[in-house]
Amino acid sequence: MLLPLPSVDARPASAQVETMRILHPREFEILQSHAQAFVSAKAYEGYALETGGTPEAWFQIRHRGRAVLVAENAADGLVIRVPAGAEPLAPDVLRLREHFRIWVVHSGPSVEE
């Protein structure tokens, strides 16, 4: 007996956004250094790091020219976004995002400005 297949939703995946506590500038600098280490280790795969005019404000990781992870230390908290469609192109950024989340949660507001 054949069972009917579940319907498949063909809509594109939406962006994955996570908001956490605001980071002190030094904490954001440390987070950015983790991103730089990731990009340096994977540069041969086409990863690059782009930072804002104010380094403690935002950075993004690009894979072959396309943003695959964006981190912004906004007024209402640290926002880490993985744009829609980035996961299949750069699955490692999901592990990096989880690393960021764990680091932010466990670092606590202990770093001095």
How much is the mean pLDDT over the chain? 81
Residue 50 lies in a domain: yes
Bridge partners of 47, per DSSP, are 63
Which pLDDT belongs to residue 7?
A: 47
Position 87 in a domain: yes
Instruction: Return the higher-pLDDT residue of 12 and 76.
Output: 76
Residue 4 lies in a domain: no
Structure tokens belonging to residue 80 = 């880490």
Task: Find the length of the chain.
Answer: 113
The parent domain of residue 90 ranges over 16-105
Return the top range by mean pLDDT from 9-18, 36-45, 71-80.
36-45
Residues 31-72 have pLDDT tens digits of: 999 999 999 999 999 999 999 877 668 999 999 999 999 999
Q: What is the pLDDT of residue 47?
A: 94
Residue 21 lies in a domain: yes
Q: Which of 55, 53, 46, 49 is nearest to 69 (CA)?
A: 49
User: How many distinct structural domains can be found in the chain?
Assistant: 1
| Residue at 78 is within a domain | yes
Phi-psi region of 78 (alpha: psi -120 to 50; beta: other; left: phi over 0): beta
Q: What phi and psi, each to the nearest 5 degrees, are found at residue 60?
A: -140, 150
Residue 112: inside a domain: no
